[in-house]
Chains A and B, each alone.
Chain A
C-alpha cells in the first residue's frame, strides 16, 4: 500500500518537509515557497510583463493566475492584487484570449516581490488563529 521509494525520501523524520508544494520548517516555524518554483514562476511572470499589451491566451492566463492563487493561499496580503488578473481571466475565458493592460503589468511587477517574500518564508504564527492582543469595536453607523 505504501509508495516505498517515496517513503524513503519523505517518510524519514525531518525538521523540514515539502507539503502540498510548500516547504515547512518546524524549527523556525516557517512556510517557504521552494526555490525551484520561485525561479520558474518568476520567469513566467517576467515573460508576461515583457509581452506587455500582447494578446494573452486563456490557457496561459489560467496557468499564471492558478499559480499566483497558490501563493496567495498562504501569503494572504498578496490576494488583494489578484482581482484585476481574475477579471482578465474571466474575459479570456469568454473570448479565448485577452489583452493585458498597464494595471495588469503593475500588478505582475508587484507579484515578483510577493514571490520573493514567499520564498523567504511566511511565519506559521501568521497563518494560525491567534488570541487577539487588542480588541476594537466599531459601529457602521459611525
Chain B
C-alpha cells in the first residue's frame, strides 16, 4: 500500500471512530451483532478496546455496512440474505481511502472478469463438437470463502471497525480474514480458486480415472440430473473463431468463489 503520513493516519483514525458505521449496519443492528459475535467465536475477528486503537501503528477504522441481497436454499428458492461489508473506499480528511492506496501493480491479475464469456464459449464449443449430446451445467461455491484466508498484518491494522453504535460498548474489531470491500481481496482469493479450477480440469482428464470407483466425497449430496423435455430441440452452435480445446470431459471456469462446470451427459 502507498504510505500515509503519521498525522493523516491519526486524523483519519479519529474521524473514522467518530463516524461509526453506515446507516444500513445500524438499521440491521441485531443481525450485525449476531454475525460479528459468530466471527469472534470462530477467530475471524479479534475484539479490541476502541479507545486504545491509536496505540497500534497504522491503525485505521472503516465503516461497516450491511448489503441486502438474496441467497439460494436447498430447494433452489431465493431467500433474503444480509452481507456484512467493510467500506474501505470511504475517504476521511486525508482524501485517501484504504482502497485508493492499494498498489494494483503488485496484485496478481485476476481472470474472473472474463469467466462468464469463457463459460459461454465452453458451452458453444461443446455443442459444436457434440451437436446431439445434452450439455449439463452445475455450480458450487466455497463456503465462507473470504473467511478462510488470512489477512495481511498491515491490512488488518488498516481495516478495523468500531461497534460503539451497534452495541453501545467501547469495542473495535480487527479482521483476521479477507474483508468484503477490500480492493485486493478478489485478486488474493482468485489466486487460490483459479488454481483449484485448473486442478479440477486436470483431474477430470487423468487417465485411468473411473468415476464409478473413485467417487468424489460430495457426490452423495448431488441429485439426479434435471433434463428439459425431449420436445425442445438442440440449438446448433455456429463455428468459433477461437478454439477452447474442448473434449468429452467438458470443463470448469471460476468467478472468484463460484466454480462453474459444463459437461456432456454420458448417461
Complex CA gap A31/B262 in Å reads 14
B137, A2: Cβ atoms closer than 8 Å? no
Which B residues are CB-close (under 8 A) to A22?
A: 116
* Contact status A26-B136, CB under 8 Å: yes
Query: A4, A25, A128 — which one has the most chain B CB atoms within 10 A of its CB?
Result: A128
Q: How many A-B residue pairs have CB under 8 A?
A: 150
| Beta-carbon nearest neighbor of B267 in chain A | A13
Instruction: Point out the residue from A17, A36, A132 that lies within 8 Å of B241, measured CB to CB.
Output: A132
Across-interface contacts of B76 in A (CB, < 8 A)? 9-10
A130 to B136, CA, bound (A): 23
Contacts of A30 in B (CB 8 A): 235
Interface string of B25-64 (1 = CB under 8 A from A): 0000000000000000000000000000000000000000
- Nearest Cβ distance between residue A76 and chain B, in whole angstroms? 11
* B residues contacting the other copy or chain, number (CB 8 A): 51
| Distance between A123 CB and nearest chain B CB, rounded to angstroms | 8
Interchain CB contact under 8 A, A3 and B123: no
Tell me if A139 is interfacial: C-beta within 8 Å of chain B: no
Give chain A interface residues in 1-50, CB to chain B under 8 Å.
1-17, 19-20, 22, 24-31, 36
- Which of B71, B127, B140, B242 interacts with A2 by CB under 8 Å? B140
Interface residues of B in 204-227 (CB under 8 A from A): 218, 221-227
B5 at the interface (CB under 8 A from A): no
CB–CB A29/B127 < 8 A: yes
The interface bits of chain A over 69-105 (1 if a CB of B lies within 8 angstroms of the residue's CB, else 0) are: 0000000000000000000000000000000000000
